[in-house]
Amino acid sequence: MSVEHTWNMAGMRGTGSDTIIADDVFVPEEHVVFPARTALGPSTPRSVPKPQGLMGALAAPVLGMGMGPYDHIVAKLSGGRPLVSAMGSHARAIDSPGVQANVADAAMLIDSAILQAARTARTVDRATRTGTQMSPLAIARSRMDCGFAARQIRQAADKLLDVGGAGRFAESDPAQRIWRDLGTATRHPAFVTEIDREQYARLLLPVLSAQ
């Protein structure tokens, strides 16, 4: 067995997503997972509906990556960082209406993303408890919820970095690492809503499906 180092990315560098190569290895059938089969299989009272359960699991760290830079940058601003512009250094950045507006916007984007992800979590939990299959509409809405929530988190991080100062992009600062991780993670196929929204629209507007 060997590892081929194929994961050379700007972000998510710590995921260990390199390629594992195994020759002449026996793998019992019960240890093999076929995503295409599990996605269509029935739910039981003890199984998590797929792929919605996976999407919820993927959304959770993205939400955390949004909260991280928020706490970090707000702490830096609260510490008295001056407002520096082309006109020179002025009073504390935290006293600037523009900075305050960006922080408020970022907080609302993060809160909204959490609420949307929570709706998906509740829907999946309910299906898991009852052993029922989620409806196609519920599945499509869950995918849209998670994808839209990821986009909101990315927007929030950008707003925070806009007022955090260029110093937040120093390699020693955790904000730039989280920013890179978000840029990579939120472009996972699970969060790409451009395709999912077409299916969502067809389910919201049944007349389209009949054409």
pLDDT at 209: 53
> Which residues, 6+ apart, have CB-to-CB distance to 181 below 8 Å?
11, 12, 65
Whether residue 25 has pLDDT greater than 50 = yes
pLDDT in tens, 46-64: 445 555 556 667 788 999 9
What is the model's pLDDT at position 160? 94
What does the chain come to in residues? 211
pLDDT bucket at 67, cuts 50 / 70 / 90: very high
The rounded mean pLDDT for the chain is 84
Which residue carries 């990579």 as its tokens? 184
What confidence score (pLDDT) does residue 45 get? 44
* Domains of the chain, each with CATH number or no CATH: 2-210 (1.20.140.10)
How many angstroms separate the CA atoms of 73 and 165, rounded?
A: 9
Give the model's pLDDT for residue 44. 47
Residue 95 in this model has a pLDDT that exceeds 50: yes
Q: Read off the pLDDT of residues 168-194 as tens digits, 9 standing for 90 and up.
A: 899 999 999 999 999 999 988 888 888
| pLDDT over 60 (residue 19) | yes
pTM tops 0.85, yes or no: no
